[in-house]
C-alpha cells in the first residue's frame, strides 16, 4: 500500500524514490535503506534465469482483478502459461488435513469448473489445494505460493509444482529463494482471493487459514462460497459457520457458476490502478494532528480524516510519512495504528 | 378453512349448520350430508373412553400458534400431558431412512433443546422423528400423528406412542380409528409446522415430506432451519437446498435458540381466531362473476376479488357457496380453483 500511495502521490518511481528519505524524516524516523539499481538488476536476472517472468502492477500481464486490491502486490514473479491470466478464475482452498471425501469433492469440482472454461487458483498446499490443482491440470490451474518461485513447499509437492511450471502457472510475491514463513501465508492468501471472481472453501476448521482467504475475498467484494458438511464433523465447522455468516452454499459446479456470473464481464475490464493525485503537497500541517489522533488501537483512515478536519490528501501524506518512518501499522479494512515504541 | 369461514360468517355453529344446505344449493350442488347430534355424541364418547381430550379451535387448551393458521384444524384429539401445550415448541423432522449419525444428531439436538425448556414436536415416524422424540422424552415432547389417536403407525412405534401417552403428548386431527393414508401426512405436517416457532429439518432427500413441512413452516411465517451435510451424501441434498433457499443453517441447539428467539413472546399471546364478519350477506351478486373468473388452474383469492370488482365479503361468500357445493378446491398460498367436472 505504501508503494501504491507513493506512486499515486509522486507519479513515477524515480520521483517517489527521491522523496522517500525526506518523507521518512518528516514522519519522525530515519531514511529507509533503498536497494541500488545494481541490486535490482541482479534480482531481475536471477528470476529470468529461473525461466520466470515479472508481472508489474499497472502493466499488461498483471491479473486485472488483482490490480483492484488496495494492497495489490507491486511485483509478482510468474512461471508457466501466462495465457491463463486472461481467463476468469475461481479459487478452491481448504484444509491441509482434509478428509479423503473432501479431497475427492475438490478434485471433481475443479474438474467440472475447468470444463466450464474457468481457471482454478489455489495455494499448492497439502489436502484440498493439491486436489484442486490436480482436478484442473488439464484445463488450466494457477498456484500462488507463499515462498519464492523456485522454492518447493511442502517438499512432497515439488513434482506438482514442476507440473504446473509446464502445464499451468505458478505465481510468487516473495523474492526468488525465499523460504515461506508463517506470516507469508496470509499475504499469499490475499493474492488467491484477489485474482479470482470468488473463493470456494472446502472443509475448513474454525480459525484456519482458509477462513482468512474467505475473509479477504469478502473484503475485496468477491464471492465467498463454502461446501457444507455434517455438524458432527469438526472439519466442516468452518465452512458451516461461513454459510451461516452469508457465504453461498455450494453443492456442485453449477452452484459456483451461478454465484460468480456477475463477475464474468469484469475479467477483461481495463484496470487503472493508479489515479495520480492532483492535490499539491500542502506542507506538514496535518502531520502533528494525525499523529495526535493515532494510537495503538487501529482506527479507520476515514475517521482520522473526519476528526482532523484536514483535506484527505494531507492526511494521506501524513500517514505516508509515518509509514516510511516505520511508525505506522496498516490493518485490514482500511484501519491504521501507531507502532508501539 | 370452510369451517372457519362459516363460523366467521354466521357467528355460531348452529347458525352455520342451518345455512349450509341453502349455501350449497346456491353454489350449484346438493346439500352435503350433515352428521347428527347423536353421531357427534358417539364420537365424543369414543375419544373420551380412549382417555383422550378434545382441543377446539378458539378455546383455551388449543395450541395458540396453531390457531393462527388460516387452515387450523377445528378439532384435535390429544392424549397425554396437556401442560406441554403451554411451552414454546420447536419441530424436529427428517428422513425415515436417515443415517445413524443423523439420528444421533437429532436425538442430541432434541435433548439439548429440552434442557432449554423447549418442547420438541415431531411426527412419530421412523428415523429422525423417532430420534427427536427419544431425545426429549424426559423434558417434553409432542407427537402429531397422521391417523387416529388410537392407531399405531408405523407398528414398531407402538411402544414409543404409548410412552408419549404417559410422559409426553400425542395429537391427532383424524377421527379415532382412522388408519393413516398418504394424503393425511401433509395435513399432519401443517400441524407440526403450525404449532411450533420453527422447524428443524435433519437429513431430507429432495422432494421428501420433510420439505413439505419446511414449506408449510415458511408459509406460516415460522423459522425454517436445516442441518447441512456433505454434497456427496444424497440424504443431505434436501437440507443443503433449503439452506441455499434461505433456511437457517443449524449446527447445534444454540443456533436453534438464536433463530427462534423472536417467537418466544408469542407463545402465550391471546389468540382470537374468529373475527366475525360485520358485512351483511349481499345477495348472489358475486356468485356468477366469481364462477366465471375461476377455472381449473389455482388463482389467488385476492386476484378474484380484484378482478370481480365485488366487495371482499361477497366474493368470500360466493367461494363458500361453491365450496359447500363441492365445486371449489382450496390450494396452498390462498389460491382456489374450480373442481374439474
Q: Do A240 and B252 touch (CB under 8 A)?
A: no
Distance separating alpha carbons of residues B187 and B225, to the nearest angstrom: 20
Q: Do A236 and B248 touch (CB under 8 A)?
A: no
Mutate to test the interface with B, among A251, A255, A259 (most CBs of B within 10 A): A251
Q: How confident is the model at residue A3 (pLDDT cuts 50, 70, 90)?
A: confident
Q: Are B240 and A255 in contact (CB under 8 A)?
A: no
A169: left (phi over 0), alpha (psi -120 to 50) or beta: beta
Q: How confident is the model at residue A284 (pLDDT cuts 50, 70, 90)?
A: low
Distance separating alpha carbons of residues B250 and A230, to the nearest angstrom: 10
pTM value?
A: 0.79
Residues of B in contact with A244 (CB under 8 A): 248-249, 251, 255
Matching residue, cell 528470476: A47
Q: How confident is the model at residue B7 (pLDDT cuts 50, 70, 90)?
A: confident
**Cα B125 to Cα A268, B143, B160, B185, B189, distances in angstroms:** 55, 9, 10, 10, 11
Residue of A nearest to B232 (CA): A105
SS3 content of chain B, % helix, strand, coil (to 5): 50, 15, 40
**Cα A233 to Cα A98, A127, B102, B313, distances in angstroms:** 11, 17, 12, 56
Q: What is the mean pLDDT of residues B237-249?
A: 95
pLDDT score for A270 = 42
SS3 content of chain A, % helix, strand, coil (to 5): 50, 15, 40
Instruction: Provide the sign of the torsion angle of the four alpha carbons B328, B330, B336, B338, taken in this order.
Output: negative
CB-based burial label for B150 (10 Å; 0-12, 13-18, 19+): buried
Pick the residue with more confidence: B97 or A331? B97
Q: Do A101 and B243 touch (CB under 8 A)?
A: no
Instruction: Provide the sign of the torsion angle of the four alpha carbons B126, B132, B138, B143, taken in this order.
Output: negative
Q: How confident is the model at residue B280 (pLDDT cuts 50, 70, 90)?
A: very low
Distance separating alpha carbons of residues B60 and B79, to the nearest angstrom: 16
**Cα A263 to Cα A132, A199, A299, B154, distances in angstroms:** 21, 12, 31, 52
pLDDT score for A281 = 44
> A274 pLDDT exceeds 60?
no
Would you state the torsion angle of the CA atoms of residues B309, B310, B313, B317, taken in this order, to the nearest 10 degrees? -120
Select from A104, A248, A251 the Cβ nearest to the Cβ of B237: A251
Q: List the beta bridge partners of residue A68.
A: none
- Compute chain B's Rg from CA coordinates: 21
Distance separating alpha carbons of residues A229 and B161, to the nearest angstrom: 33
Segment among A108-112, B51-55, B222-226, B335-339 with least mean pLDDT? B335-339
Distance separating alpha carbons of residues A276 and A6, to the nearest angstrom: 10
Residues of B in contact with A229 (CB under 8 A): 228-230
B299: left (phi over 0), alpha (psi -120 to 50) or beta: beta
Share of chain A above pLDDT 70, in %: 94
pLDDT score for B206 = 84
> B279 pLDDT exceeds 70?
no
Q: Residue B169: which of B146, B137, B129, B196 has the closest Cα?
A: B137
Pick the residue with more confidence: A253 or B21? A253
Residues of B in contact with A241 (CB under 8 A): 251
Would you state the torsion angle of the CA atoms of residues A38, A40, A42, A44, taken in this order, to the nearest 10 degrees? -150
Share of chain B above pLDDT 90, in %: 59
Select from B101, B232, B250 the Cβ nearest to the Cβ of A232: B101
Chain mean pLDDT for chain B: 89
Q: Do B231 and A105 touch (CB under 8 A)?
A: yes
Distance separating alpha carbons of residues A240 and A231, to the nearest angstrom: 8
ipTM above 0.90, yes or no: no
pLDDT score for B274 = 46
pLDDT score for A265 = 61
> A277 pLDDT exceeds 70?
no
Residues of A in contact with B240 (CB under 8 A): 228, 249, 251
Q: Do B249 and A251 touch (CB under 8 A)?
A: no
Interface of A with B in 233-292 (CB under 8 A): 236-237, 240-241, 243-244, 248-252, 255
> A185 pLDDT exceeds 50?
yes
Q: Residue B46: which of B162, B176, B158 has the closest Cα?
A: B176
Select from B101, B240, B255 the Cβ nearest to the Cβ of A228: B240
Q: What is the mean pLDDT of residues B29-50?
A: 91
Amino acid at each position: 500500500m505504501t508503494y501504491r500511495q507513493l506512486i499515486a502521490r509522486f507519479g513515477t518511481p524515480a520521483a517517489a524514490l527521491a522523496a522517500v528519505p525526506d518523507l521518512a524524516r518528516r514522519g519522525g524516523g530515519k531514511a529507509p535503506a533503498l536497494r541500488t539499481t545494481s541490486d535490482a538488476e541482479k534480482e531481475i536476472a536471477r528470476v529470468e534465469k529461473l525461466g520466470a517472468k515479472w508481472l508489474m502492477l499497472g502493466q499488461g500481464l498483471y491479473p486485472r482483478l488483482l490490480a483492484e486490491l488496495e494492497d495489490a502486490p507491486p511485483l509478482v514473479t510468474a512461471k508457466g502459461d501466462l495465457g491463463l491470466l486472461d481467463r476468469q478464475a475461481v479459487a478452491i482452498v481448504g484444509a491441509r488435513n482434509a478428509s479423503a471425501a473432501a479431497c475427492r469433492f475438490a478434485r471433481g469440482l475443479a474438474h467440472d469448473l475447468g470444463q466450464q472454461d474457468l481457471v482454478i487458483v489455489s495455494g499448492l498446499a497439502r489436502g484440498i489445494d493439491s486436489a484442486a490443482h490436480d482436478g484442473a491440470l488439464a484445463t488450466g490451474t494457477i498456484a500462488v505460493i507463499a515462498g519464492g518461485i523456485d522454492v518447493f513447499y511442502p517438499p512432497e509437492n515439488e513434482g506438482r509444482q514442476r507440473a504446473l511450471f509446464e502445464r499451468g502457472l505458478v505465481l510468487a510475491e516473495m523474492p526468488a529463494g525465499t523460504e515461506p514463513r508463517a506470516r507469508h501465508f496470509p499475504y499469499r492468501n490475499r493474492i488467491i482471493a484477489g485474482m479470482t471472481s470468488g473463493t470456494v472453501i472446502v472443509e475448513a476448521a474454525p480459525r484456519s487459514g482458509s477462513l482468512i482467504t474467505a475473509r479477504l475475498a469478502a473484503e475485496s467484494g468477491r464471492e465467498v462460497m463454502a461446501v457444507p458438511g455434517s455438524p458432527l464433523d469438526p472439519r466442516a465447522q468452518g465452512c458451516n459457520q461461513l454459510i451461516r455468516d452469508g457465504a453461498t452454499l455450494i453443492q456442485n459446479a453449477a452452484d459456483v457458476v451461478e454465484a460468480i456470473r456477475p463477475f464474468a464481464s469484469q475479467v477483461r475490464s481495463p484496470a487503472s490502478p493508479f489515479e495520480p493525485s492532483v492535490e499539491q503537497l500542502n506542507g506538514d500541517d496535518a502531520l502533528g494532528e494525525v499523529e495526535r489522533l493515532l494510537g495503538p488501537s487501529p482506527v479507520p483512515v476515514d475517521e482520522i480524516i473526519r476528526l482532523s478536519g484536514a483535506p484527505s490528501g494531507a492526511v494521506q501524506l501524513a500517514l505516508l510519512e509515518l509509514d516510511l518512518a516505520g511508525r505506522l501499522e496498516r490493518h485490514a479494512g482500511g484501519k491504521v495504528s501507531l507502532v508501539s515504541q
